[in-house]
Amino acid sequence: MHDFIQHIINGISLGSIYALIALGYTMVYGILKMINFAHSDVYMVGAFAAYFAARLLNIENNPGILTLVILLIVSMVSCSLLGLAIERLAYRPLRGAPKLNILITAIGVSLFLQFGGQLVFGADPKVFPDVMKDFVLFNIGPVELKSFDVTVLVVSIIAMFGLQFLIYNTKLGRAMRAVSANASVASLLGVNPDRIIAFTFIVGSSLAGIGSVLVGMKYPKIEPLMGMMIGLKAFVAAVLGGIGNVRGAVLGALIMGLSEEMVVAYLSSTYRDALAFGILIVILIFKPAGLLGKYTVEKV
């Protein structure tokens, strides 16, 4: 029983990281009805931006709250700028193009970032800086609650509640929901769809930046292809919850994190990556709209 509780804690921590990345997928899909496959590579760039910033500022061996905050800001800003550039240069010119063209472009941008990252950063893995010290906050018998898990959970919750507040309690959030519902009508009401879409990319990329620092803190190895698998899992989490639904993305990510942890604990770590694709197949067969998604009629 104690082992089970420990796995629950680990699964929630992992699911929180998946949620930050899955929200980026679901936000872009909610606005543009497209999958931004480059999102996971934006997350990779955020990890490297934090890595080089720590070395430049000479804080790589000074773990603490201040180091965490600095690296989060650097990663968020870097990812936001990259996300904005991708939207402006790659996706906006194809706004009225067939969806297949946009899909191919998204895959092309993803490959460009992956192999460009190998060229710029080097293909060899790098050790992420010491962001915080990991220690046991308290334990109940053999069940341990560590500082890393609490930090990941607290930062993720703050980011998710911040996003929730932005979407449902601000003027920008109302504009985002209006563009998501009908961009043409929203533009007639004075909303600038291009500006809102760009802002959506900035917010989604910022969340990926937060996730990259948390992953680097907990699993301190980064390399240019690090976004590939976690991006696929986050995408599956978004589909599982109902892509386009913010709450669904969080729910799907938590289910993914808990499921993966249980598979590793009670079956074999060999199956942890296969689990994501298994869940995706089951969802597409039995509930294509996802757990919290809604079926819509699309005119062709």
Per-domain boundaries in the chain: 2-139+153-286
- What pLDDT, on a 0 to 100 scale, did the predictor assign at position 110? 93
pLDDT below 50 — which residues of the chain? 299-300
| Fold exhibited by the domain 2-139+153-286 | ABC transporter involved in vitamin B12 uptake, BtuC (1.10.3470)
- What pLDDT, on a 0 to 100 scale, did the predictor assign at position 22? 92
- What pLDDT, on a 0 to 100 scale, did the predictor assign at position 295? 59
- What pLDDT, on a 0 to 100 scale, did the predictor assign at position 5? 83
- What pLDDT, on a 0 to 100 scale, did the predictor assign at position 300? 46
- What pLDDT, on a 0 to 100 scale, did the predictor assign at position 1? 65
The 3-state secondary structure of the chain, one letter per residue: CHHHHHHHHHHHHHHHHHHHHHHHHHHHHHHHCCCCCCHHHHHHHHHHHHHHHHHHCCCCCCCCHHHHHHHHHHHHHHHHHHHHHHHHHHHHHHCCCCHHHHHHHHHHHHHHHHHHHHHHHCCCCEECCCCCCCCEEEEECCEEEEHHHHHHHHHHHHHHHHHHHHHHHCHHHHHHHHHHHCHHHHHHCCCCHHHHHHHHHHHHHHHHHHHHHHHHHHCCEECCCCHHHHHHHHHHHHHHHCCCCHHHHHHHHHHHHHHHHHHHHHCCHHHHHHHHHHHHHHHHHHCCCCCCCCCCCCCC
- What pLDDT, on a 0 to 100 scale, did the predictor assign at position 298? 53
